[in-house]
């Protein structure tokens, strides 16, 4: 990953020219990974939660970090784990003291970051800006992802079927707002959250094989 972020020109162009702030954010990510590889789990937790509080879009990898820290720092496996059969021969002991250290580190950094907004009663305003669902499924300028293909298919079906409804999709009009799809079912934040959760669960099963 460090090779990709430091050598490949296409990645450098997007990261350091278009999103100028992403370069130093990856620095925090690498410091967290380096600390975890050195088995300094508290320092790794600190740098990762610092990263998430700096840019919340890194939140999607938080479950993987949590499981890794939990399995390597909070759980002591005194037996043999058969990954393919998900069977443990032996006993597991849980270290609540280490878990408390990790949770305390995460909460301390988070409260320092969000505390002033909570104290001033502005947390709801902050939340709306961190998760701007009213911008629509793919914003006015589409990112190259699955939802761009979904929106394109909806517009193609609308043209193909000559759909005469007033609920036409105008997702390429340049306005930042929510739109209803003309043919395909509409996608709500809850739907995307459920899809993300399912993908994370599958990732956990794969991650479990390497812990």
**Secondary structure class of 94 (helix, strand, coil):** strand
pLDDT above 60: residue 87: no
How confident is the model at residue 84, as a pLDDT?
42
Q: Are residues 170 and 188 in the same domain?
A: yes
pLDDT > 90: what percent of the chain? 21
Q: Are residues 114 and 140 in the same domain?
A: no
How confident is the model at residue 85, as a pLDDT?
39
Q: Are residues 108 and 168 in the same domain?
A: no
pLDDT tens digit sequence for 96-132 = 999 999 999 999 999 999 988 888 888 888 877 777 6
How confident is the model at residue 51, as a pLDDT?
94
pLDDT above 50: residue 81: no
Q: Are residues 183 and 114 in the same domain?
A: no
Q: Per the structure, how many domains does the chain have?
A: 2
How confident is the model at residue 208, as a pLDDT?
59
Q: Round the average pLDDT of the chain to a whole number and report it.
A: 77
Judged on CB neighbours under 10 Å (0-12, 13-18, 19+), 79 is exposed
Q: Look at residues 43, 56, 53, 1 and name the one whose alpha carbon lies nearest to residue 26.
A: 1
Q: Are residues 139 and 101 in the same domain?
A: no
Q: Which of 38-42, 58-62, 135-139 has the lowest mean pLDDT?
A: 135-139
**How large is the average pLDDT for residues 159-183?**
65
Residue 167: band (very low, low, confident or very high) from pLDDT cuts 50, 70, 90: low
Domain that holds residue 103: 2-131
Q: Are residues 25 and 102 in the same domain?
A: yes
Q: Which of 75, 101, 131 is the last residue of a domain?
A: 131
How confident is the model at residue 48, as a pLDDT?
96
Beta pairing partners, 76: 93
**How large is the average pLDDT for residues 53-59?**
88
Name every residue whose Cβ is closer than 8 Å to that of residue 110 and which is 6 or more positions away in sequence. Answer: 49, 53
**How large is the average pLDDT for residues 166-173?**
57
Return d(Cα 102, Cα 51) in angstroms, integer. Answer: 15
Q: For the full predicted model, state whether its pTM sits above 0.85.
A: no
Q: Are residues 119 and 62 in the same domain?
A: yes
**How large is the average pLDDT for residues 167-184?**
65
Q: Are residues 111 and 12 in the same domain?
A: yes
How confident is the model at residue 118, as a pLDDT?
87
Return the ∠ at Cα 188 (arms to 187 and 189), rounded to 5°: 130
């Amino acid at each position: 990953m460090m090779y990709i972020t430091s050598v490949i020109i296409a990645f450098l162009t997007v990261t350091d020219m278009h999103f100028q702030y992403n370069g130093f954010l990856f620095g925090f990510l690498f410091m967290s990974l380096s600390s975890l590889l050195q088995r300094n789990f508290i320092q790794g937790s600190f740098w990762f939660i610092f990263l998430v509080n700096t840019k919340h879009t890194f939140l999607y990898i938080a479950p993987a970090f949590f499981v890794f820290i939990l399995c390597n720092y909070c759980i002591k496996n005194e037996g043999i784990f058969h990954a393919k059969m998900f069977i443990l021969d032996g006993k597991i002991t849980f270290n609540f003291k280490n878990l408390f250290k990790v949770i305390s580190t995460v909460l301390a950094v988070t409260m320092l970051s969000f505390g002033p907004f909570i104290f001033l009663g502005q947390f709801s305003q902050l939340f709306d800006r961190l998760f701007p669902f009213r911008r629509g499924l793919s914003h006015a300028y589409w990112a190259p992802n699955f939802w761009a293909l979904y929106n394109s298919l909806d517009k193609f079906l609308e043209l193909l079927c000559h759909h005469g409804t007033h609920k036409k999709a105008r997702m390429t009009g340049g306005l930042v707002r929510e739109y209803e799809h003309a043919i395909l079912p509409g996608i709500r934040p809850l739907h995307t959250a459920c899809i993300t959760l399912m993908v994370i669960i599958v990732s956990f099963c794969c991650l479990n094989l390497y812990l």
